[in-house]
A = this chain, B = another copy of it.
């Protein structure tokens, strides 16, 4: 992609109304645009990243048997009356002009349960794992968290359906592992902590995946011995580490990037999602649910991967792998850079080519702000050595590399 054609403009100044550092950098770099409090547009570069995160999530959900579907966002209110959750403060209530009441989907248990009922008849139809990546709407009183807390945000929600608790328990552990694979691939695995949180009638705990960062709204008690934590919300009831029983904690701020929950029969019972077991007896299906926020992950990545100059994207989700900069006015530089650009494309390298008529200073500053993993500079100076300047965004030093060796160096 030529930067001269890219629908992106960087800002010199940090926007005044940005909620946190990730929102400030993403807006300044032209990756997202703020439409209103807690409501953002994903501009081409931000959207590329969101899709890459979603595709990683898809791969890992498919790997544990997930089947993707898409549920609607507009929910007839009667589905919510069945579980008594219709009047929760978190939901947007919508009335059509004919007086029909809807709730804007802030979560989808009330929709997936009746859908699953049409697929499940016998024990032979179980287990089954259904997920979607959907926009969720929540009527947040305080939506001042950039992509970390919005009124409208992207969410992956998987729902599992089982014959019994043991089968749910075993799948729940698999899902935990799949979650960490996603966080590792997105570059936040080492800072993301399995955190015990309040359960409900069907299990003592639920589990959150909390990424440690100062901008986090949650407080977690991190066990200094085990790499797990307890959410502050339940520390009065659960005073010791559930793994080692110790009570030596470090208190940290964190962002919840995922949450998994054993639902038991909470939703299968009201919607009569049941099955006939091997003896022909009718039983309620046992459910689990597994949430994860792609847009929140996007913001979290930048909360933990940035420096004073800008963003630093992990390679797996960067919008481009290489930022090619033509620096200087000479025809020789322009031609060599053009040639290299075409060559990189032919070799299937994702490359953003800064072919704009801008000064070296502007180009270097924008490159640091955008945070593409590899910067490749073509200038009179590098061409004197038959080379290009190669620098990883995450490392300090630029090195001159021969043009013919560049592709190997990038791999």
Contact = CB atoms under 8 A, between A and B. Distances in A.
A42 interface: yes
Contacts of A42: 69-70
A74 B119 contact: no
A50 interface: yes
Give the 8 A-B residue pairs with the shortest CB-CB distance, closest first.
A36-B76, A42-B70, A44-B67, A39-B72, A7-B67, A74-B152, A41-B71, A47-B69
A105 to B, nearest CB: 10
Given A39-B74, A40-B72, A44-B69, 14 more contacts: A7-B130, A9-B118, A30-B118, A33-B115, A35-B71, A35-B72, A35-B76, A42-B69, A43-B115, A44-B67, A44-B68, A50-B70, A73-B137, A96-B151
A118 B119 CA distance: 48
Contact of A67 (B6, B35, B50): B6
A409 to B, nearest CB: 29
A8 interface: yes
Interface string A183-199: 00000000000000000
Nearest to A36: B76
B47 A70 contact: yes
A111 interface: yes
B36 A151 contact: no
Copy total for this chain: 2
17 contacts: A5-B128, A6-B67, A7-B130, A8-B119, A9-B118, A35-B72, A36-B74, A44-B69, A46-B69, A47-B70, A50-B70, A73-B73, A74-B152, A92-B94, A92-B96, A92-B102, A98-B141
Contacts of A124: 4
Contacts of A152: 72-74
A139 interface: yes
Interface residues of A, number: 56
Interface string A1-37: 0001111110000000000000000000010010110
A107 interface: no
A295 to B, nearest CB: 10
Contacts of A115: 33, 41, 43
B94 A7 contact: no
A65 B76 CA distance: 39
